[in-house]
Chains A and B, each alone.
Chain A
């Protein structure tokens, strides 16, 4: 129950109410609580510097460039005024990727501290995959070496500048320091008398005992019309807008600093919960990427053409300025002929996304909080009563005993195992929250153990860091330390986590880390970690290590047989290996619905395919129409979860009247019907990192119309959808790319490609289309949860292109284990051509384990078929089946629109051909 409000004097209450009502900003983002670039000395310094104006520009020490025994190229960078030289290393990664590392030379003079290298992000086999560079050719202070058959690396010696260019044309693709902004503050032995290293922000003091150590450089993307990436920021724009230069009003740079931002803005370069320093440049002539592995605070400017005062603007080049507070240069240059290649290369460095279990791709129901077992029962029953499927029910922080994670509030949840069993009996799962802050309570065994073992992050004085979070006074395990991660992982065993069962999965929140009384609501930068590392050096990766340890815990718990499901709020490069992320505490307004698309698309481009935004908006009460629109869009998010703040009204999908219940059910049903397609897309993502939800230009890289379209999106290669982001919108313009037509998912109507269509907005769906030339597998029978759909038959929807052809894939495995890694899966390619549909096996069949299924195809809908045949012949067997005109979806009132092959009953596991006679 809600406690009675504290008695406030009426005038004060009134004042507060007025404040809340009159200025929404008063409730929203607290700008002053966060540092801007001007308040951040390294950023201010770097940002105000003019090109080529450095006092001590670094240059290659004469004769130092050489190919090392491991095949990489090394060199020394120096300037007469610097105390020590820097060591440069270049390595080639196939295909078309270059790694540039620059660090201090610790062999000549040892500084008191080594700079931080972010561990456990790059794949361990990276070094082994490094190619052997040929001998560089040096002439007139420029060395050139081949990166691949069609790419060269060009190193200018004085000042140091690096360019990756096409071997044939000599066109540059990416360059480093071509504006002479590369600065690398050397670590100093001790603080000079006349300097102050301390930094103050509001009531907080950062001692900065190691002094300045920032790094800045400029990177240029040639042939790029736009740059993308750098999650996480609120934005309604898919492309990164310029932050400096002609035509840009006062703007902060894009900030990468993981923070728990209360009521974040939907449009701001300010950094949110996660950071991935990866940027993609794309134009119709080139696609390239740049990744800087650095976990310190980073600020990045996207510079508008002419920012440098250059009059003759090179066509299609975007310059960017990268600034970090600490760390080293460990940068990757990716060159793709297509944008998908760039993502694949990034993934080849940071790892492939984990393959989720089937249930995790279905609908999740969450709320802060489902309060007790009766509430859980009631919500579960509500879904059944209204025939709305869902797979996972979530419990937020209130389920614990006083925010002591791994415990249960036994008065509300006296029998957690029984509760989970009841949910599991319907094939459903549960998720509980486990946050990194541990309640400082001597009677809490976890705290006691962490204290005794010295597992907590330390403050600047070497004591266990004590911050404030949900439980009050809290400490934070030092997840950087592999031993502590191991210890943490063990906490998820059934023995250690009392009340957990095999159908319970985990949610990591607040892992930025969020510290309510810390500077900028996080941990002080001078806190100390394992290996003499300062928090400032790894801040952006703390949540990543926490996510990693939790996922490892679930893996251990299931003896390596059960794929973990862990949702994390904070993330870093590589988080894709450990699970899903979501866009944090958004708000129930139309702008946040709109910005969710560019945000989720950007996460996908940065290697995190499994993401979504809280459907409905976390803060505030969505108007029913907004909620409906959110479900309709959310049903396409790779991670589809409804969630709400505890102050909001209940919003389970049947609470908004009969009509809306029907529409919401429809939206969720659509997701369930597309689960086979989604799962196939997750498979693709897990192999090469190509996101599930994609910007249009990823599928249509030559179509300039698509480059900054952040309103529409692709789900895989076959479906396009566009949200309705305005209240009461009557019509909507939807651009359908490419030369081929598109078929309306609801009624099969064809629409021409390369045209912006003005469509009437419907209440019961958002514009969504299947691209001609594709085949989408569906399951059109609905169940309580995805678990009961396993044996249900499939429907194939074939959308023929102008040459009467189409193709698509279906991937199926057991939906939960790792057997697929030994080949236990079905992977088919369906090809339709010449009035014939053929199912080909594309799974390698020599991997060991097998998976099969008796599932059949019950219906094949062929959109755009010119034949009027009434029969089809199945081979082998020469069996005849009927073709009738049928609807595209099985909803009351839908009318027959396309030839439908009735009950072919061919098994998805088999190879066959169906010929339309």
Chain B
């Protein structure tokens, strides 16, 4: 039966190719056939009209091609091939009778020296199979997407609740901190008064003693010693505050700050100078600076006398290549590129939305746990984007503080609702109350242990406050982002997607940044910019500067897939990267319907159906 069918089809196709098709339908899509009925037909662009015998007479009467849908006479005309068994297509008139088979039914070469085989049946079958797979992917993808959207809504609500809660806590804490601060101020005032009094007293005693024994020299007073130490502590504290503020604009490596007071000072000063406090920068800086003049000389080439012949060759070559003089040559650069995987050929591109169905991977990780791992891999990268830094800063604290303070490492959201958490705030409040009650401001001398307790409480509370504030700002920052119509990209916020191409590892963190890593060195391919093309593309821009080129940027094209997978990283123009991310987030129902309709249409147009 099938053989018969195919046989009939071939016969039919052969006949179609050999006989010149009727001029009044040649190259005209069925929906337009009505337009061409009648004796005088108008050019669509209104430029004129033509008689029926001028239709497809191989002479262009309408510059827009209305009169020559079936020939190559009008450059702007389009030719319709029916392609029974496959999908009809419309091709440029430049392809008609040009000796190259463009339509699978061969109808575009009705008057040329080539004979085109009708390949629609085979090609159609392959296309239908592909489309079927694609539809299947979409079907599953739509389900996953729905789940994700649900989860995202929940997570979003949780985050909003968390934010509200944090804001409440912030208010309370702020009150406490203010109180403690006031108390601390009073204590300090009292201490100061006491100190002055003591000093006066000492002075009095000292003068007395001097009078008594002029030979005796005044040894430093123990209490004075304590005082000066305290003053230093204040300074230290202030500097810590400064350092913290700066850390807000620096990188995760500033966790040194909180780890050791000594390095905090150092970092603080570095930050003040406006140089990013990247790990190692401080140590490397002098070395790099000393290297600078040499390189400068190389590049300006004003004085090649000092260069070896090879250096001179490299230096001159570098003008064209834009490479560092120290790199070997364009050749070697290419050598690196060689290891890049070549993107799959065009077929892949056509079918790029197809994904082999795979069990959906649960990627909806926790907010911090996921990121935490990533951060460690980012050891030597800069995170100087403001919003991000705050987030990172929070995270840095979090490494220690969440462990110690929250006891609940892991999901940030649930923390807040648990009773244990609430008691944390109560505890502080309680403690502070105790402190207030216990401390006697009018007692002289000041009870030193009480004073230090007040200071400790103040320090604790204000550090807690700053943590909460930083959580608030990072959360607020997060919620500000565009997560798509259905918040379908909500989970992207805390995820990074990775792929390896050759020796490079590409890492794309939505809403944050993208990078290319090779060994320990990493290049910033761009910071999060926005979604483009109605959420079909993620755009990262303003990455590391390219020599003689643009700042690096990356466009990630999203296609429907059952899990989040990054692939096909390419660099079509220098430093302008592209990649593909398969994700259920873009498996939308409308597209599924569209594909389903297309598949239905294709299946119904099978020649089998036509013949029978």
Residues of A within 8 A of B (CB): 1-13, 15-17, 26, 30, 32-33, 202-203, 262-263, 371-375, 377-378, 381, 387, 389, 397-398, 402-403, 409, 411-412, 425-427, 467-473, 515-517, 521, 585, 645-650, 669, 780-784, 788, 792, 858-859, 887, 889-896, 902-903
Contact = CB atoms under 8 A, between A and B. Distances in A.
B312 interface: yes
Interface string B311-336: 11111110111101011111101111
B337 A896 contact: no
A230 B297 CA distance: 36
Nearest to A652: B572
B221 interface: no
Contact of A12 (B45, B64, B100, B296): B296
B521 A387 contact: no
B11 interface: no
9 contacts: A1-B336, A8-B295, A425-B100, A468-B310, A468-B316, A645-B320, A669-B75, A890-B76, A895-B47
A12 B304 contact: no
Contacts of A378: 346, 349
Contact of B313 (A517, A858, A887): A517
Interface in B62-103: 63-65, 72-76, 92-95, 98-100
A15 B518 contact: no
A894 B522 contact: no
B502 interface: yes
Contacts of B420: none
Contacts of A30: 301
B225 interface: no
- Top 3 A-B pairs ranked by shortest CB distance? A468-B313, A9-B288, A517-B313
B100 A788 contact: yes
A309 to B, nearest CB: 39
A1 B504 contact: yes
A521 B316 contact: yes
Interface stretch (B119-127, B169-177, B364-372, B539-547): B539-547
Given A4-B521, A16-B299, A9 B571 contact: no
A30 B516 CA distance: 35
B522 A2 contact: no
B305 A203 contact: yes
Interface in B533-584: 544-550, 552, 569, 571-576
Interface of B: 45, 47-48, 57-60, 63-65, 72-76, 92-95, 98-100, 275-276, 284-285, 288-289, 291-292, 295-296, 299-302, 304-305, 307, 309-317, 319-322, 324, 326-331, 333-340, 342-346, 349, 501-502, 504, 516, 518, 521-523, 544-550, 552, 569, 571-576
A192 to B, nearest CB: 29
A469 B65 CA distance: 53
B75 A780 contact: yes
A6 B327 contact: yes
A647 B313 CA distance: 20
B334 A12 contact: no
Contacts of A792: 72
Nearest to B96: A781
Given A1-B571, A902-B59, A202 B305 contact: yes
Contact of B304 (A26, A202, A895): A202
A646 B318 CA distance: 13
Nearest to A894: B63
A17 B337 contact: no
Contacts of B302: 32
Nearest to A474: B313
Contact of B291 (A9, A473, A788, A893): A9
A5 B573 contact: no
Contacts of B572: 375, 650
Contact of B47 (A381, A389, A894): A894
B94 A781 contact: yes
A472 B326 CA distance: 13
A389 B92 CA distance: 12
Contact of B334 (A7, A409, A585): A409
Contacts of B521: 4, 7
Contact of A781 (B75, B345, B575): B75
A894 to B, nearest CB: 5
Contacts of A6: 324, 326-327
Contacts of A26: 300
Nearest to A386: B92
A650 B573 contact: yes
B289 A11 contact: yes
A516 B314 contact: yes
Nearest to B341: A411
Contacts of A515: 313
Contacts, number: 225
Contacts of B60: 780, 890
Between A3, A8, A203, the greatest number of chain B beta carbons within 10 A of the residue's beta carbon is seen for: A3
A781 B77 CA distance: 11
Contacts of B76: 890-892
B343 A10 contact: no
A647 B47 contact: no
Given A517-B316, A783-B94, A783-B98, A472 B328 contact: yes
A784 B546 contact: no
A489 B11 CA distance: 53
Given A13-B545, A669-B75, A892-B47, 15 more contacts: A1-B336, A5-B544, A9-B288, A33-B301, A203-B304, A374-B342, A403-B331, A472-B329, A516-B316, A647-B322, A649-B573, A650-B576, A783-B72, A892-B63, A896-B47
Given A32-B302, A467-B313, A858-B59, A381 B346 contact: yes
Contacts of B574: 2, 646-649
Nearest to B575: A2
Nearest to A411: B338
Most buried by A among B47, B99, B285, B544: B99
Given A468-B309, A469-B313, A517-B316, A647 B345 contact: no
A423 B309 CA distance: 42
A784 B101 CA distance: 13
Contact of B295 (A12, A516, A517): A12
Contacts of B516: 1, 4
A682 B415 CA distance: 82
B156 to A, nearest CB: 36
B523 A4 contact: yes
Q: Among the interface residues B316, B319, B343, which one has the most CB atoms of the partner chain A within 10 A?
A: B316
Contacts of A372: 342
Given A32-B302, A412-B338, A472-B329, A784 B98 contact: yes
Given A9-B291, A469-B313, A647-B549, A262 B329 contact: no
Given A374-B342, A516-B312, A5 B523 contact: yes
Contacts of B501: 1
Contacts of B319: 262-263
A882 to B, nearest CB: 10
A887 B523 contact: no
A893 B63 contact: yes
B92 to A, nearest CB: 5
Nearest to A780: B75
A647 B343 contact: no
Contacts of A381: 346
A380 to B, nearest CB: 9
Contacts of B552: 2
Contacts of A892: 45, 47, 63-65, 76
A444 to B, nearest CB: 12
- Most interface-central of A15, A26, A374 (chain B CB within 10 A): A374
Contact of B571 (A2, A427, A782): A2
Contacts of A471: 329, 331
B64 A893 contact: yes
A788 B548 contact: no
Contacts of A467: 313
A398 B575 CA distance: 17
Nearest to B289: A9
A609 B181 CA distance: 87
